[in-house]
A and B are shown apart, each in its own frame.
Chain A
Amino acid sequence: MYNQLISTALLLALSAPLAAELAQLSEHDLGDVSAQAGLTISARAELETGTRVSYSNDNISASQYNGSDYTGSGATWLVVDDITGVLEFTNLDVDIISGVGPLQDKSAIQLTLPDALEVKSLKTKGLYLGSSPEVSYDSSGKSNSHLFLLGLELDGRLSMPAATKVNIFPVE
């Protein structure tokens, strides 16, 4: 139950900002289908200025250390601030297939990855550490409330030209 709650909630949370599309298969495409069921997904996510992910963690209090340099307690927030940009792919195929495994008696979810991942200036202003979930800045655009760690940007086209197939199945 615990796992199901986590996984289902995350699925809903993570899929919310995506604009996904189910494409109708053409006659030609239908001729290639051999699996039991399938979806073709194209998606584009556009992140507007102000998008932010904040994560909190309780500090280890000074009382937990003997003779150390640490002081205080409370919580620290890791903030990925001001995420902007575009992430897009087309034709991610999702099928349920059978006949996998050494005895060919198992089923799996098969993803056929899109031929490219298009990324347009997907970036964050920075990863910050601080005592609150929101970062404030001075007039020069530098934080006066949090510790700046790193800025990150992805841009361009990452090709996957060989119709990479990923089979996903339960294991023990």
Chain B
Amino acid sequence: MKNNPLKLASLLLYSQFGWALQALDEHQLSNVTGEGLGATFDNVVLYSGNLGQPDDFEIKLYLDEGDQSQSDFIRISELRLNKSGEEPGLVSSGGRFGTYLDSFKLASLVDVQESYGAKRSHTVFQTAFPAADLSQVERSFLKFGRTNGLSYLSSGSHDASRHATLPNGFFPVPVERNDNGKRFTTDFVNLPIGSVVGLGNLLSVGNSFNASAALFESELDKATDKFDLHLRVDSVTDVNRNSGFDDQFLASVDLLGMRLYGTQTNIWARSVNESGNNSGLSLAMSTGLVADSIQINADPNGALGSQLSLDGVDAYLPLGTIDQPLTISTVEFQQQERYNWVTEPELRSDGSRNPNAGQRQASSLLPATTQLRLEISALPQLAGQAEQGHITVRQLSFGDPNDPEIITGVEDIYLRDANGRIIKKVDDVKHRAFVPKTVIYNEQVEAYNQANPGAQIPYIPNENVIELRGIEIQRLVITTQDLNRVCDVCITN
């Protein structure tokens, strides 16, 4: 195979187009060897200029049929991808993606067997990103501490009402006031320098927590560089069709320091004879994304005040498995006529109870049309639980960090050494909305350590402002319907 460039090139092309997939028969299955193609990428840079400039690049998605010059459309432009931290569009700003042993697998045929029921074997067309075998690590220190013996959690001596991952008294309990023109001010009984709070095994468990994340990062480092991705999204309608680009601007999106892990797609065909309605083009996909920051800005000139940032993002989402695939098929579907929903009455005309009460009347059904159907079949009973996804975001930032509107309070921060002893008080530290207190504390630790290189103090594990855990799909069915744009019920005033 490796001496056959024609086959390599043709398989490369094969990976980029969606053609009809048919289930392989026994004879064809016997020819499957599990071979495929891998690819590595060096010096990866994509660049397109600002919208309207000679070097711009646009992708337009038209939402209306007919004359495209009068159609509503979504425009994606200013597509830029480069190594994280580098200036976009330069020869020197390229990043590396994949290695020989952990490559981008762009065309592999692999035999996979179902785990439950008939345990049928499927030959799947597999595409996998580098680090596809890497699993999500635990990003919640509270959950990590519970399973790794964080001492004060088990003894109940943690700060359960305010900062559950820290021992009682680590942060002094504030006294709230509302005066001096401040929205609210917190104050404390002054703690003396040298006073101690027992840290238990906070630092050792915290080190294990950080080591887990560091190992994850080092594995990703082997597979791929971090990348920055930028794009601009515009929305063009009759309202702004003849206006300037600024009026058509919807948002710009920046993914900074992003990498994929655990990301792969398996595609195969499930025949209707063996799978019934859960047949058709079948997909088992998983996507993992880590990013230093995801920034969405609603100002065409990038004003900081219009920016939402999600910092410290880790999202892993499975969609379909070999046992419970996402299938795409086509069906003939009779949909309910819009604005003409008629249901069967509770009682018949003779006063007897109508057994079909609440069901729609056939008279309001439209003629059948072809529609797409997407389905994730019901979870096999033996599986017990579907594969789960988790999303964590360390902090959110809205606009300018010094904007008074997002300053939620001003508190003193007491910095502690490895023995829990207060070594310094930092006065009047601004606390921001949707930023965990642990992040605010660690910012002050960083400043202290930079000023005192010979007397470093420890960071504490960060909490997250968003944790979505255990995302799973038990069953999903989507059947598309036509949206009749003809004004059959008009609101004239």
**Same complex origin of A and B:** yes
Is the CB–CB distance between B100 and A102 below 8 Å? yes
B103 to chain A, nearest CB (A): 6
B34 CB contacts on chain A under 8 angstroms: 172
Chain B 461-490 per-residue mask, 1 if CB under 8 angstroms from chain A, else 0: 000000000000000000100100000000
B9 CB contacts on chain A under 8 angstroms: 11, 109
Is the CB–CB distance between B277 and A171 below 8 Å? no
B42 CB contacts on chain A under 8 angstroms: 164-165, 167
Give A166 to B94 CA distance when docked, in angstroms.
Answer: 13
The yes or no answer to B6 lying at the interface (CB within 8 A) is yes
A72 CB contacts on chain B under 8 angstroms: 332, 368
Q: CB within 8 Å of B: which of A150-164?
A: 150-164
A64 CB contacts on chain B under 8 angstroms: 272, 276-277, 279
If over half of B's interface residues share one DSSP class (helix, strand or loop), that class is named, otherwise mixed; here it is mixed
A71 CB contacts on chain B under 8 angstroms: 332-334, 368
Q: CB within 8 Å of A: which of B58-94?
A: 58-68, 71, 73, 77, 79, 89-94
The yes or no answer to B231 lying at the interface (CB within 8 A) is no
The yes or no answer to B196 lying at the interface (CB within 8 A) is no
Is the CB–CB distance between A166 and B333 below 8 Å? no
Pick from B43-51, B187-195, B385-393, B418-426 the stretch touching chain A. B43-51
> Which of A58, A131, A162 contacts B92 (CB under 8 A)?
A162
Give A131 to B280 CA distance when docked, in angstroms.
Answer: 17
Known interface pairs A2-B31, A170-B35. Does A151 touch B71 (Cβ–Cβ under 8 Å)? yes
The yes or no answer to B492 lying at the interface (CB within 8 A) is no
Is the CB–CB distance between A159 and B55 below 8 Å? yes
Q: CB within 8 Å of B: which of A74-130?
A: 74, 76, 96, 100-102, 106-107, 109, 119, 123, 125-126, 129-130
Q: In which size bucket is the chain B interface?
A: 35 or more
The yes or no answer to B346 lying at the interface (CB within 8 A) is no
> Which of A8, A125, A126, A170 contacts B38 (CB under 8 A)?
A170
Is the CB–CB distance between B280 and A57 below 8 Å? yes
Is the CB–CB distance between B65 and A155 below 8 Å? no
B20 CB contacts on chain A under 8 angstroms: 55-57
Pick from B10-18, B170-178, B201-209, B427-435 the stretch touching chain A. B10-18
Is the CB–CB distance between A164 and B45 below 8 Å? yes
> Which of A76, A151, A163, A169 contacts B37 (CB under 8 A)?
A169
Known interface pairs A161-B47, A162-B45. Does A60 touch B272 (Cβ–Cβ under 8 Å)? yes
B335 CB contacts on chain A under 8 angstroms: 69
The yes or no answer to A3 lying at the interface (CB within 8 A) is yes
Residue among A1, A3, A106 with max Cβ neighbours from chain B (10 Å): A3
The yes or no answer to B370 lying at the interface (CB within 8 A) is yes
Chain B 292-308 per-residue mask, 1 if CB under 8 angstroms from chain A, else 0: 00000000000000000
The yes or no answer to B372 lying at the interface (CB within 8 A) is yes
Give A26 to B48 CA distance when docked, in angstroms.
Answer: 30
Known interface pairs A59-B331, A62-B332. Does A164 touch B37 (Cβ–Cβ under 8 Å)? no
> Which of A60, A96, A141, A159 contacts B280 (CB under 8 A)?
A60
Is the CB–CB distance between B91 and A162 below 8 Å? yes
Give A148 to B291 CA distance when docked, in angstroms.
Answer: 36
Is the CB–CB distance between B89 and A161 below 8 Å? yes
Is the CB–CB distance between A159 and B48 below 8 Å? yes
> Which of B5, B36, B68, B272 contacts A171 (CB under 8 A)?
B36
Residue among B5, B28, B277, B330 with max Cβ neighbours from chain A (10 Å): B330
Give A162 to B10 CA distance when docked, in angstroms.
Answer: 26
B212 to chain A, nearest CB (A): 27
| Residues of A bordering B, CB below 8 Å | 1-4, 6-8, 10-11, 14, 55-62, 64-65, 68-74, 76, 96, 100-102, 106-107, 109, 119, 123, 125-126, 129-131, 140-143, 147-148, 150-172
Q: Nearest 7 pairs between A and B by C-beta?
A: A151-B62, A11-B10, A156-B57, A7-B10, A72-B332, A162-B94, A76-B330
